[in-house]
Amino acid sequence: MKVVEVAKVLAVISKIYQEAGNRGTADGILTFAELLRDYKDGTITTFVGRVKRELSQRQVHPDIRGTADANAIERQGPADVVRISEIRAVLDKLCLIYISSGARSQAGDCEKLSEALNAHEDEFVGDFVKTVRNAGAREKRNGVNRAGTDSADVGRYAPMLLAAGTNELAFNPVFSAMKSDRRVTKPILDAIANRYLNEPIGSNHVYKFKTKTHAFDAIKDKFFERAQAKSKGDIIDRLMSSS
């Protein structure tokens, strides 16, 4: 299930709460829905994984139920006094609705999203959303853009491998750095491998690899294939020039 699909449903639910006079909860739901919209075409599974990753090393938010009144006074927006636990309650109800209508896949995604928020139940929605967005912005500033392969750091591997040509002393350090770079995920490596294999011959063929190991092997095999071809060509050129 796409994240934006859940965002649309939550936006409708927010409007229902708004019409019922529950502005605070309505704004809290809408604020969370807007966070989901940030992830555009991503699935619930990728969204949950990314949020867990982005928040894994941050400090636990100091707001707990015992300090709710003091924190509420400092906040001005209605959404800022709504806790993530209320968003979970809405997601759980939505899960039951999907189950009753036979949409088990959608129900499973809502349950997965709700469970991912479990550790953040006592946080305010506004604070949670800001933290997730700040973490994402910090990653982009550091050149780690997991949404694609053109980040300043990760995206440099393909052109550097190509620039090495058939020079093994130039190729090996780049190849080793790429293998040890944890930011080079399977999709990114697939893109790097496809560019490395295709660009020198002007091809648009899409190579598919079962594992990262297969992709790494394809890159290295192609390097040696090109190096051997050049070596043979050089030998032929020398023989022709000496005859």
Contact 90, 9 (CB under 8 A): no
pLDDT value for 229: 84
Where do the domains of the chain lie?
3-141, 154-242
For CA atoms 15, 17, 23, 24, the dihedral sign is negative
Show the CA angle centred on residue 8, arms to residues 7 and 11, nearest 5°: 85
pLDDT value for 68: 40
Q: Which residues contact 25 (CB under 8 A, 6 or more apart)?
A: 17, 82, 86
Distance CA 112, CA 101 (A): 18
Backbone phi, psi, residue 83, to 5°: -95, 160
Distance (Å) of CA 243 to CA 93, 139, 149, 184, 238? 85, 60, 49, 49, 9
pLDDT value for 13: 92
Global pTM reads: 0.53
pLDDT value for 144: 38
Residues lower than pLDDT 70 in the chain = 40-41, 54, 56-80, 136-155, 233-243
